[in-house]
């Protein structure tokens, strides 16, 4: 596996990182990111040439990571429920209606198929804070990301309510399930993407079409030789499970360990390993931080604050940057400049 050759995937990540570092054009479209996390969405917008005016996030480790990589982007570190529209306008120098894109990924634990799918989960109500700011800022467009679980079973009721509230805010809205693996990301990560266009613009809401086949793990990790944070060793039960997967008869009910395939696309990275996680194809260990970054489409130059567990949490909660770059490019071309 060890090789110094530059894979096409690594080359694409390096190019995207250069786009992020490039000076903004004078007429660059603007974006505000709420529930910004470590900056996965923000990086995608930056790669697409946007200028971010404000990021909103409450988690200290996420804010520390964000500031490491976006030193010039102002951050509101606190509870979004306490952030007024007036405060946002003052911090950004905007007037209502001037912002190009309002972005956000409200916490989705209550919707997730990996959770208990509790309709009464208070975290399901955080989208109301997103809607409150949306109505006050009146951006030309918005993008809201969430998990696919919100359209399954009884959670459909909340999905319908969210769609209703977004449309009532004065926007033409479309919602589609998109998978990051079709947008250059070596990870199968289906997500619900809402795109809204302000009614007075007279344009339809739309989504980008699939662009690529999923990158294989072999392609994603090729040439990777810098391993800053090694993943924790497997516990004895995990090692036994790993050995069973090597023999092809693992009991998957006990663990959610996934031994990855060099020629396959990685499954969704979750925010905690718990009794599971993504195992290296050839070694009895979980993926380390540099490997996790690659399959989440974070360029090698992107740095995470904290230890391996903190990094896994940030990556598991993030929108893959190449995925959001595709969405941001589409919105810029078809909606803002179309």
State the catalytic residues: 108
Residue 151 CA: distances (Å) to CA of 119, 163, 203, 268, 276: 12, 11, 26, 18, 25
Sign of the CA dihedral with 184 first, then 186, 190, and 193 last? negative
**CB atoms < 10 A from the CB of 300, how many?**
15
How far is the C-alpha of 87 from the C-alpha of 107, rounded, in Å? Answer: 22
How far is the C-alpha of 261 from the C-alpha of 174, rounded, in Å? Answer: 35
**CB atoms < 10 A from the CB of 53, how many?**
19
Closest CA to 30 of 102, 112, 88: 102
Q: What is the Cα 248 distance to its own chain's centre?
A: 32
How far is the C-alpha of 338 from the C-alpha of 329, rounded, in Å? Answer: 12
Q: For the sheet with 51-57, list strands across it.
A: 75-77, 51-57, 30-34, 101-104, 141-147, 190-198, 171-179
Phi, psi of 55 (to 5 degrees): -120, 140
How far is the C-alpha of 35 from the C-alpha of 59, rounded, in Å? Answer: 9
What residues does 141 pair with on adjacent strands? 101, 197
Tokens of 170: 């004065």
């Amino acid at each position: 596996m060890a090789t110094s050759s530059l894979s096409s995937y690594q080359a694409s990540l390096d190019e995207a990182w250069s786009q992020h570092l490039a000076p903004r054009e004078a007429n660059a479209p603007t974006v505000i990111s709420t529930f910004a996390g470590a900056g996965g969405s923000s990086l995608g917008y930056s790669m697409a040439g946007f200028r971010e005016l404000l990021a909103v996030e409450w988690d200290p480790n996420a804010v520390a990571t964000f500031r490491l990589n976006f030193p010039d982007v102002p951050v509101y570190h606190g509870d979004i429920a306490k952030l007024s529209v007036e405060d946002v306008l003052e911090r950004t120098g905007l007037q209502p209606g001037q912002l190009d894109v309002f972005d956000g990924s409200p916490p989705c634990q209550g919707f997730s198929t990996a959770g208990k799918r509790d309709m009464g989960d208070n975290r399901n109500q955080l989208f109301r804070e997103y809607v409150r700011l949306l109505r006050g800022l009146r951006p030309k467009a918005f993008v809201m990301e969430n998990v696919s679980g919100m359209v399954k079973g009884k959670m459909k009721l909340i999905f319908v309510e969210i769609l209703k509230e977004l449309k009532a805010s004065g926007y033409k809205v479309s919602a589609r399930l998109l998978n990051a693996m079709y947008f250059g990301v070596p990870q199968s990560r289906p997500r619900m993407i809402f795109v809204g266009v302000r009614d007075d613009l007279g344009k339809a809401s739309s989504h980008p079409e699939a662009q690529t086949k999923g990158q294989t793990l072999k392609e994603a990790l090729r040439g990777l030789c810098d391993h800053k944070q090694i993943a924790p060793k497997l516990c004895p039960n995990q090692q036994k499970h790993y050995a069973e997967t090597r023999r092809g008869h693992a009991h998957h009910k006990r663990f959610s360990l996934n031994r990855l395939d060099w020629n396959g696309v990685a499954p969704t990275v979750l925010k905690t390993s718990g009794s599971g996680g993504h195992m290296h194809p050839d070694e009895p260990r979980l993926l380390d931080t540099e490997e996790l970054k690659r399959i989440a489409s974070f360029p090698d130059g992107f740095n995470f604050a904290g230890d391996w567990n903190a990094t896994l949490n940030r990556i598991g909660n993030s929108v893959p940057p190449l995925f959001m770059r595709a969405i941001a490019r589409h919105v810029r071309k078809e909606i803002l400049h179309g």
